[in-house]
Structure formats: structure tokens, C-alpha cells
Structure 1
Amino acid sequence: MGVGDVSKRILLGRKLRSAQLGETLLPKRIALPVFASDALSSVAYAPDEVFIMLAIAGATQYVWSWKIAIAVALVMMAVIASYRQNVHAYPSGGGDYEVATVNLGRTAGMTVASALLVDYVLTVAVSISSGAQYAAAAIPAFQHHEATVASVLVLLLMAMNLRGIRESGSFFAVPTYLFMFAILGMCAYGFIEMAYGTLPLVESADLEIAPKEGWDEPLTTFGLMILLARAFSSGCAALTGVEAISNGVPAFKRPKSQNAATTLLLLGMIAITMIVSVIVLAKQMGLKYVDPHELERLTRNGEALPDNFDQHTVIAQIARAIFQDFSPGFYFVVTVTGIILVLAANTAFNGFPVLGSILAQDGLAPRALGARGDRLAYSNGIVFLALMAIALIVAFDAEVTKLIQLYIVGVFVSFNLSQLGMIRHWTRHLETERDPAERRRMMRSRIINAIGLSFTAVVLVVVLLTKFLAGAWIAILAMAFFFAVMKGIKGHYDKVAGELAADDEDSILPTRVHAIVLVSKLHKPTLRALAFAKATRPNALEGVYVSVDQKDTARLLEEWDDRNTGIPLKVLHSPYREVVKPIVEYAAAIRRANPRGVVAVYIPEYVVGRWWEQFLHNQTALRLKGRLLFSPGVMVISVPYQLRSSEIALEREQREDQRVRPGDLRRGRVSDRSDRQTRKTRK
């Protein structure tokens, strides 16, 4: 096993057979934290954004906060109900992309795919950047290095997901459940205190908020509508991640659709309860919260706050007040909240690779994205997502306030097209369905999807109107870029398929085969290549040597005559000491002399067993093959010669393959007799 194999084994674990794919499927208790962490983590920043938007016109507008929370909850309920129809109708894992493609056409499907790709990348960037800011607040050494910290966290998540969805899910399950317990427990205790009239105030309750310039006058009806629309659109960030389950249905245990639908319902109930509870408690506890870059708008008794004033997040302020006499409770809530913000990116690491593999199958993405890795995860998709997220984090210096403006545009584009596609789906099936009970079920499902479309369409319009100039245009531009790339890739694959289609001319044999064997020295690899070329019985066969030194050439010619191979040796003189160019030009000249024939170039190559030996051999052969690949009518044949180091490496690999590993007997991969024989051999 080479250094590369050892490193992969340490980082990723032992390889899994394709037949073990069933072992990686997720039960609901693991699937919930795997696919719901993104939607649940929005509780950590969606309330903050709602209060920031309302604070534009001063703290008096906080009276609308709980109503906005209810509106967001209604939209989430509609979306959850709609996606439950999706997972039953399209359980293959294509999610919104498949729904839009099947029912609305290829263009709509590509639009959805580009929107989801942008959303997944932003999910990782926003969640990790937010987690990095929590880390910087707790560890002073990380301050002003948030982008570096975030990039490292992305790489760690990438490594975890490369180990397989089940392993990463089991690892992330505990923090996600702890987060649910922390937030729900904190809110439940807060409501109990509120019922008894002992609910404390948060640390910012005694502050005043000065409205932003232009918002200090009494609001008109239109102005109030604009303010509420902005707050509502920011609160709708809580809906991101809902679509991940529809894309991850294949990862569930059977019955896949039923388990996915149940997980969706649990996600909706938990997320709605958490976000509504946090917003209501924050309002009742007197929270005052503004944009972190506008702290000068906060005052206490008409006086400006000190320069070192630190505005804590909404959840942190609530936790500090509720657990004022129990500091471990406060630290527990804040810690698990910071962790869940990092782990929220795991939802994208599960959704993006699956979507990428489906796009690859449809010819809209590089086919490498459809290949499973050693641990049966879509490794290339995971790595690609990590690199794109890191690029975004570095470009925006891990500032959440900038990245959040790009957020949720893509996901609501996919929401709308998906619901429209589902309406078309039910309408098409109703035209042929005659069973009354089944027709009633389909009509009920169509109504649910129609309600979902109505809600998401309103939200999309609001988001575009309120966030376009604030940065949403970048997300739209990125969606257009992905759309163009997918269209270009599809066009390329279609063009290549057309060129490769077999026709009658492909059965015509070449009129002549001129074989040349490249000679550097007259040693065993060269003699093997000469023998192999002779065995193929070409019309013409000759050795070719590039002369760059007269003494070496004379010595080779003398050895060639002494060996008496019966094959002529062609010497190509190279006054400028080039080796590759003379051979390419000679092969091209032979081809021009006989356009209907082919030139077969045999290249002797060493096979080595140690990674560092690769740099010491075959470099000229690699360059030559790269050049000859572009020469029409020229065939390149590698003739390997195994050095002793390659045999040692092969023996080591064989011993590794025969080794009985823990659990092999239980899984039926080795018989009891072979197990005993292996132990006996070891003794």
C-alpha cells in the first residue's frame, strides 16, 4: 500500500464495496439531524434579521415581530406540506430539479438546478462564516482571521463527509439533538416564567433605538408595508434547507418516501416551534437589536454607548436572561448554537453531491460528479462544493451580513418552479385516472401544491424587491452562470456523442500498418517492445532512435548490429537535442505518405512500485504520448516492463486484500474455514 493509499485509509476509512450501499442508508433518527440541520440552524440568525429590519424604523415596530413570525410559520407549513407531496411522487432524489424537468421542460429543470447549486454553496458559506464569528467571539486569537477559520472548518466538514453519509450523520446527530433540546428547553422555561409573571428582561431592554435616516418620521401605510416586507423576507431565511430532504430521499431506509415525508413533518414542527418561540420571547423580554455595523443608533438614557459595547445575538441575550442564576445553562445554549451553525453546512454536503450526480447522468455536469468514492459517497461533488464555498468565504471575508443578502433567492426560485411542476403533474395524471378515491387524493395534493405556489411566489417577489440591490443580484448572476455552464456542457456531450456514433465507414480496415518502436537503449524493455510489435504482424516495422549525441548513437548502432534483431533502425538526428518533436514529425510524415493507413507507435515504459519512482522514469514517454494523441491516424501502444519494486508493491497489495478484517466473518465476506486458515497461517 503506497503513501497515497495509507493517507486515504487514515482520513476516509476502509473502502466499501458497491454491494454495501444498503449499509449506508439512514434511519429517521439519523436522517433528521443530517437533512434538517440547515433549516434548524436558521433559528440562530433568522430572528436577528427580523429584529434588525424592524429596528430601521425604531423599536416601536417590534410590535409586528410576532406577526411576522406567524407569517413565516404559515409559509413554512405550506412548503412542508407541498414537499411531502414531492417526495411521494418523485422519490428518486431529483427533488425540485426532477419535478421541474419532467413537468415543465429542460429549461425549467436547468433553472432549478442552477438555483439549488447557488443555494447549497451559500448555505455552506453563510453557516460556516457565522460559526467562525461565534468562534472569534469566544477565542480572541481568531479575531480578524474569520475567513481562515471558516476555510479550515469547511475542509474538516469535507473530510467528514468523504467518510460517508452514515458516518458523518452519526457524528452530527448528537450536536443537532442537543441544539433542539437547548432551544426548546430554554423557550419552554421562558414561557413558564412568563405565565407566572417572572419573565426577566434581556440585557438590551433598557436601550433606545434611533430610527435610520429617512425612517424617523411617522410611517405611511406604504412605508410600513415596505418595512414589514423587508423583515418578512429576512425571516424567510428559516425556510432554507427544507428542499434538501426531497433531494436526499435515496439516502433514507425503506420505505424511503414514507420516511422522508415523516422527517419533513418533524422538521417543520420543530423549526416552526423554535423560531416562533424565540421571536415571541425576545419581544416579551424587551430586546433591542440593530445591525452590528450601526451600533451608534443604540443609546441608554439618551447617551451614546461606550466604544467597547458588544451586542450579543438574540439567542445569547435570551439565554443569559433566562439562565441568569444558572450560568452552565447559558454556556450550553450558546455553545450548541455555535456548533449547529457549523454543522448546518452538512445539509448542503449531503444535497449538493446527489444533485450533482443526477445532473451528471443527464449530461448537464461533468461525469466525474456522478462517480462514488471509496466510501460510496459522491466524493467529487463534496470536494467541488467545499472549494466553491471556500472561494466565496475568502471573497466576502466571512462576513455574514454581506453573504446573507445573497441568500434564499435561489431556494425560492426552486420552490416556485417545483410547486408549479407538481400542479402540472397532478393535472396530467387526473386526465387518465378514473378511480374516485385516487382522484380525490390527487385533487387534494394539487390544492396543497397550489397553496404552496401562492405562498412561495409572494415571498419570491418580496425577496427580489427588498434584496436585489442589497446583493441578491449577485446570486441571480451566479444562477445565470451555472445555467450557461450546464447548457454548454450538455451541448458538448451531445456534440461528442454525435461524433462518436458508429457508421458504415468505421468497419473499413486500414490499408497499411506502419509500426515504429521507440528505442532509447538496447535493453530488456526495448527488446520486449520489439518482440510484441513483431507479433502483431504489421506491414512495416522499424525501430526509431533520436540522436542527440554522436558517441551514444555510434554505440547503439554497434549493439544493434551485434544483436541482429532483423528489424531496421531509423536514426532521427536532432541538432537542438529535442526528442519528442522529431518523433511526432516522423510519424506525421509516414501518415501523409499513406492517408488510409495507420502508424502504430510502441513505447517501452517502466512500471515502478514506489510513488517517488514515478518522478524518475517515463517523463519523456508521457510528453510524447500527450503530443501523439493529437496526431490523426497515429496509434500509441504502451509496452510495460515491471521493475522489481512493482512486484513488491503487488505482493503487498495481495497480502492486504487477503487480510481478514474485524467484522468480515459476521458480514459474510469470509468463510469460517478461511478465517481459521488465515489465523493458522499467521501462527
Structure 2
Amino acid sequence: MSRAVTDESREPGVETPMAKRILLGEPLTSEKLDEQLLPKKMALPIFASDALSSVAYAPQELLMILLIGGTALLTLSPWVAVAVVVLLIVVVLSYRQLIKAYPSGGGDYEVASKNLGEVPGVVVAAALLVDYVLTVAVSVASGVDNIISAIPELNPARVEIAVGFVILIVIVNLRGVREASSVFAIPTYLFIGSVALMIVVGLGRTLLGDAPVASSAEFGVEAESLTQVALILLVLRAFSSGCSALTGVEAVSNGVPAFRKPKIRNAQTTLTLMGTIAILLFSGLTALALIANVHYAENPCNLIGFDCANNPQPSLMAQVAAATFGSGSIMFFVIQAATACVLLLAANTAFNGFPLLGSVLARDGYAPKALNTRGDRLVYSNGMVILGIVAIGVLIVYQANLTTLIQLYIIGVFVSFSLGQIGMVRHWRRALRDMQKLPEEARRQQSAQYERRSAISGLWINSVGASLTVVVLLIVTVTKFVHGAWLIFIAIPILAVLMIGVNRYYRDVEHEIRMDDSVHFGSSGDVAIILVNRLQKPVMKAIDYALAANHEKTLAVHVAITEEESTALQKDWAARDMPIPLVIIESPYRAYTSPVTAFIKKYREKHGASVVTVYLPQYIVGHWWESILHNRRSRRLAHQLMLVHGVSITLVPWLLDSSELIYGRRSRPLPGQQRGGQPVAEVPAHRPRKSAAGEPPTP
């Protein structure tokens, strides 16, 4: 049976706060989840912006490391770039196989967990979470770098600008996947088109004999003297920095559930498009940088003739754009703006991958269950907020310095690459063994032969991918470890241990609360207790609720702190002919919880294992400062009484007039009261239920 969902289905009186509605938009119903799924043209900017944007800084980092050994080493850069391209092709082909085998969105984590065991799976998850945080930090820092290259006066506000962009990206993503894809699509496609145009124009000028020349071409370089071993390590370090072009490839495999049907084919097509575009842009930009003779130094002061004290070093992208189109041209500013936007929006890949992976981990019990909850806009908003907070912390600690942050980068992604590819090798080997166990007649069927060929090709592809990614992981570890990457090798194990601890906690709780044959429920009575301080409207409302629940016995209990209060209450109680008996409990030490707890325990000892429901009146206020003016005794009592066996707590809200700021309505009036000049129907009076002796019971 279909069910219509309208605005009337919302809880009456509870409205979305104005500020939240302006920032995030109106809440979406669960039925609109399918409308949030992405077609390929919108999925590309969402999931591929990280991989595509890496071409803006991967060539820069590659050439920068080689330049440490002098300009002569730049002749090795084409070969290093070719190695990066080959690796990127292998990884893209490998992840096409992974998407086909594991389309549920777990990616490398799911592959490693199912094929290598719990610990490798958790290590992969920890590595990916760390890498997503660094993706945000590196992308935003790189985007701010490009903005400062165009407007050097903004350099002193580098950190503030970076933090502001992270907050902006969080807000856009919290509005929902479709809205985020609409916002991010134009800058991503503008970046692809403008950089492709620059590469075509630059190469065309070169073929016509008018090769572009970078502004840094005239600067010499103070090179370090290198031994043969140091030279090899430097080349390997340049390769590992160039491998930052591979970051974000895994995001598509983690985001398969966000694609429209057919999900697997659409995800594979998006991954192929992303890889092809990234390869072409990376290769073209590296070639153009070498043609223009770009000199980009790790320490700008090593550039002979460059005023490093007063000027920030222009990025490689800025130098190539200026050399190709002119530093003051419209296309220069278009490319700088598009590059800055796509670098900033590359963080958006992490804001899709991190929450999706977090939801899978929460589902499997390795992360808090709150990460598996969709927000008002049908996105995993808790994961997005956590990612934003941690990324801001990293940017502040490292002062949004791209050169420092890049040293921490790609360790996590190659840990997940390596273990994921090894897991895929075991997956295909197991699939082939299972096929061998089939009867001869079943193996001869066309579908079985197709599956076998597919498994064999997948085994070969993933075997090559596993071999290469493990080698690259070793290279990256050796070359980046002393430059700050050692922090990642501390963070990943700590996070993995925490996730295993969370899983063990959930497992123990599940074991503790599960049903078994020894579980028996039953009680010999049902008693309600209303805690009374003075006879006021909130107390009357609590008594009304308790009587409406029709308990076997209903008592009002007053904790006597002073004799004057208890005497006044007894007189008022008798004068108003209250329908339930009043029990006075002495409290010589002016405590509330202990006397009530002792009363309940003695009552249950005398009358058997009664179920005791304690009704606690509680004010609901609209201003934050009002909560300071009230003692909040009900909450403290509720917290303590929940530890008493056989007790359940019922908080009875009394909405003060200020609560209209939150709920848009006032407290429910008592019988006989009027609101807005309209009479309110009377509620039938309840008469007291006397005990057997006709007097108020005692414990």
C-alpha cells in the first residue's frame, strides 16, 4: 500500500529553525532518496574532482623534488611522469574490477575485510579515513596557493581563507548530493576545458616555433650535491610525489550506491572517464611545464634572482598559464580561478567518500552508529561535520602549507590500494577454485565459461595492480617517512585499534542484551510515584498523566527538606482534596535522590517486585539563559533513578510561555482554564484510590 507524505506528516508544532532552513534547505522525506542518485555527468564532478584536480599540483611536486638536484635532473621528469601514468592506468583498470565484484560501497575496506580478515580491513578503513582528511587539507591548501599566486596580497590570511573554504564546502554538502553536484559541476568542467585549451595552445605554439617561456626560466637554482644513492632516492621521491595524481581513484568504488541504475556500469564508466581525463591533463601539463622551462623550488630562496622575501612563489599552473596566454590576460585569470575552484572542490570527493565509508563502518560496528544516520537532506551529515572539523584542525596546525601537507599525503591511499588489490587477488583465486568444484556439465555452459574468463582477466589485472601498488607504497614510505609521513604511520594504527575497540564494545553490549531462555519478566504490582515539591500546575499535569495511565496504585511523594515546606504542602493537599495519597519522606541531609531510592527499595521489599513508574515534572524553556535559572533537579533525579532496579522514568514536560520560540505553542491548559477566550473542556475528576487500611501506604 502506498502512503502519501505531506507537510502535515511532520510533528505538529515543531518547525525547522530559520537559520538551518536558510543554510541547508527544507528537510527531504525518505521517499525522495532515489531522486538524490547521480547520473554520470553529475557523478564525475562529485567523485572525480580530487583525481582531476591533482593534475594541478602533482606535476608541480614532481618537478620541485627533481629540482633539488639541479636543472639537469629535470631531464628525468618525462620518464618519472610516464611511470606515474602507467601506474594510474593499472589502478583504474584494477578498480573497475573491484566495482564489479563489490558494488555495495565498502570499496577497499570491504575487499580486505572479506578476503584478508578483520585486522587488514580495519587498517584499510583507518588509512582511507586519514587520507580523506588529508585530501581536504591538501586540496584546500593548494586552492588557496593558486588564489595567492593571482592575488599575492592575500598571503597573510592564508589560514583564515582555507578554514573559510572548508566551512563553505561543508555547508554545500549538507544541502544534499544533488545540490552539491549542481554547484560543483560548472567549476570542474570549466577546469577541464580551460586546462585542455591551455595545453593545446601551448603545444601548438611550440610546434609553430613560438614555445611559451615561464617567468621562472631565467632563475638559476642552488642545487644540492648528491651521491649516487641520494640521486636514486631523489628520483624515487619525485615519483612518489607525482603519484599524488592517483588520489581520489578509490572514491568511485566507495560511492557506487550514490549512482543511478545500472550502478555498476555507470560507476565503471565514470571511473574510466576520470582516469582518461586525468592522464591527458597530467601528461600535457608536465610536458608544457618542461617546454616553458618552469623552475619551482621547494625553498623559493634557492632560486637565484627571485625575491623570496617579498613575493610568494607562483604555482606551476600560474606560471604555465602566464607563459601561454600572458600574465594579465583574461585566460590567465580564468585558468587561475578554475584551478582554485577545482582544487577547493576536490575536497568534495572526501566529503562524499568519508561519510559513505563511515556509514559502512557504523553498519559493521566499527564506528559510532550516529555515522549511519542520514540528516534532513538525506546525506550522512554527522560524517561530513566530523570530517570538516578534523580537516580544519589539520589546516591550522600546518598553517595551510601545501609543501608540508603533501609529505603526509598518499601514504594512506597506497595502504588501501595495496591491501585492496591483494584482497582482490584472493577473491579471484577463490572464485576460480569454486568454479573448479562445479560439475563438468555446469562448467561447459556459456555463462560459466564467461565468468571464468572474467575471473582470469580480473586475477591478472589485480595481480599487476597489487605488485605495483605495494612497490609504490614502499617507495613512498622510504622517501616521505623522515619528511613527516611518520605521523601517518602512528595515526593509522591508533585509529585501527580504536575501531576494533568500538566493535568489541558493540559486540559485548549485543551479547549482554540478547534474548535467551533464562530471560523472564514479571512483577507482582504496578505503582506510580509523582514527586511533588509544591502543589503547582506542572505537578497537577503529572498527576493527571499518572491517573490516566491507570496504575494499580498511585502515590505522591514529597521529600521534606524543611518542616515548613512539608507542613504547607500537607495543608494545601488536604484543602484541595487531591485524588491520591501524599507520602512525606524525611531528608535530614537535604538530599533528594537517596531518600527516594531508599523509599522505592523498601516498598518493593514489602510489596514484592513491583514495577515503579516515577513521574517527574520538568520545565521546557525557550531561552538558553532560562535553563541556568532553573535547578534542573528533574534531570538529575532521572539520571540517578534510572540506576535503581525496577524503576522507569516518565518526564512530564511543562512548556513555559517562552517555549513558543522552539515549539510554537504553549503548555496544555489544565481543566477549566481558557486560552484565547475559548473555554477548554473539563477532564473528569479522579478520586483517590485508598489502600486496604484506607490510609496512605508507607514503605
User: If the length of structure 2 is used for normalisation, what is the TM-score?
Assistant: 0.86
Deviation string 1:498-519 (CA, Å, 9 cap, x unpaired) is 1101234432313454542101
Aligned equivalents of 2:598, 2:417: Cα separation in 1: 58
Pairwise CA distance, 1:421: 1.2
Over 3 Å counting, the alpha-carbon distance change for 1:287 and 1:534 in structure 2 is closer
CA contact (8 A) 1:65 1:280 kept: no
**Equivalent in the alignment of 2:304:** 299
Partner residue, 2:250 = 243
Q: Write the distance in 2 (CA, Å) between the matches of 1:195 and 1:465.
A: 40
Alignment of 1:51 onto 2:63: yes
**In structure 2, C-alpha distance between the alignment counterparts of 1:165 and 1:481, rounded to whole Å:** 31
Contact 2:220–2:304 at 8 Å: present in 1 too? yes
Secondary structure at the counterpart of residue 374 of structure 1: coil
Which residue number in structure 1 is paired with residue 466 of structure 2?
453
- Counterpart CA distance in 2 for 1:347 and 1:649 is 36
Which residue of structure 2 lines up, in the alignment, with residue 489 of structure 1? 502
Aligned match for 1:600, one of 601, 610, 613: 613
For residues 604 and 526 of structure 1, the distance between their equivalents in structure 2, rounded to whole angstroms, comes to 6
Aligned equivalent of 1:666? none
Q: Residues of 2 paired with 1:513 and 1:50: CA distance?
A: 75
Corresponding position: 1:477 with 2:490: yes
1:191-232: per-residue Cα shift (whole Å, max 9, x none)? 1111111112111112211212x42xxx52x33321210100
What's the CA shift for 1:259? 0.8
Structure 2 distance, partners of 1:486, 1:618, is 38
Superposed, 1:389-538 pairs within 5 Å as 389-433=391-435, 434=443, 435-534=448-547
Other-structure match for 1:628? 641
Which residue number corresponds to residue 144 of structure 1?
Answer: 156
CA-to-aligned-CA distance 1:524-556 (integer Å, 9 cap, x gap)? 442343354456565654311233454433221
The residue correspondences of 1:539-558 to structure 2 (distance < 5 A) are 541-558=554-571
CA-CA distance at 1:637 after TM superposition: 2.0
Which whole-Å CA distance do the structure 1 matches of 2:637 and 2:540 have between them? 20
Partner of 1:351: 353
**Bigger shift: residues 18-27 or 566-575:** 566-575
For residue 169 of structure 1, report the CA deviation from its aligned partner. Answer: 0.7
- Write the mapping of 1:17-96 to structure 2, written as runs, cut at 5 A: 17-96=29-108
Equivalent residue letter for 1:225? I
Whether the 8 Å CA contact 2:524–2:608 is kept in 1: the answer is no
Q: CA deviation at 1:652?
A: 7.9
Between stretches 458-467 and 538-547, larger displacement belongs to 538-547
Partner of 1:229: 236
Q: Please name the residue that 2:318 is paired with.
A: 316
* Aligned equivalent of 2:119, options 103, 107, 110: 107
What residue is the counterpart of 1:656 in the other structure?
Answer: none
The superposition leaves residues 579-629 of structure 1 with CA deviations (integer Å, 9 ceiling, x where unpaired) of 455434544565677784444312134567888877776822122212222
Find the aligned partners of 1:334 and 1:129 in 2 and give their Cα distance: 14
What is the DSSP-based 3-state SS (H/G/I as helix, E as strand, rest coil) of the residue aligned with 1:55? helix
2:16 matched to 1:11? no
Q: Which residue of 2 aligns with 1:168?
A: 180
Whether the 8 Å CA contact 1:155–1:386 is kept in 2: the answer is yes
Q: Contact 1:111–1:479 at 8 Å: present in 2 too?
A: yes
Question: Taking every aligned residue pair, what percent have the same amino acid on both sides?
Answer: 45
Paired letter, 1:154:
V
Paired residue secondary structure (2:617): strand
Structure 2 counterpart of 1:349, which letter?
F
- Contact 2:15–2:663, Cα closer than 8 Å, also in 1: no
Instruction: Kindly state the Cα deviation for residue 295 of structure 1 after the two structures are TM-superposed.
Output: 2.5
Aligned equivalents of 2:295, 2:50: Cα separation in 1: 26
Q: Does 2:129 correspond to 1:117?
A: yes
Equivalent residue in structure 1 for 2:281, among 274, 278, 281: 274
Secondary structure (helix, strand or coil) at the match of 1:344 reads: helix
* Matches of 2:380 and 2:410, distance apart in 1: 25
Residues 161-203 of structure 1 show CA distances to partners (whole Å, capped at 9, x for unaligned) of 0000110011000001111111111011111111111112111
Instruction: Give unmatched runs, 5+ long, in structure 1.
Output: 654-683
Give 1:100's aligned amino acid: A
2:270 matched to 1:257?
A: no
Q: Is the 8 A contact 2:615 2:649 kept in 1?
A: yes
**TM-score, normalised on structure 1?**
0.88
Moved more, 600-609 or 491-500: 600-609
SS at match of 1:126: helix
The 1-side partners of 2:429 and 2:33 are apart by 36
Aligned in 2, Cα 1:424/1:522: closer, same or farther, shift over 3 Å?
Answer: same
Q: Distance in 1 between matches of 2:283 and 2:213?
A: 18
Range with greater deviation from structure 2 (634-643 or 380-389): 634-643
CA distance in 1, matches of 2:133, 2:420: 20
Q: Give the unaligned 5+ runs of structure 2.
A: 1-12, 436-442, 667-699
When residues 440 and 180 of structure 1 are mapped into structure 2, their CA distance, relative to the original with a 3 A threshold, is same
Q: Give yes or no for contact 2:321–2:327 (8 Å, CA) kept in 1.
A: no
The alignment covers a number of residue pairs equal to: 643
Give the alignment's Cα RMSD to 1 decimal. 2.7
Aligned residue in 1 for 2:7: none
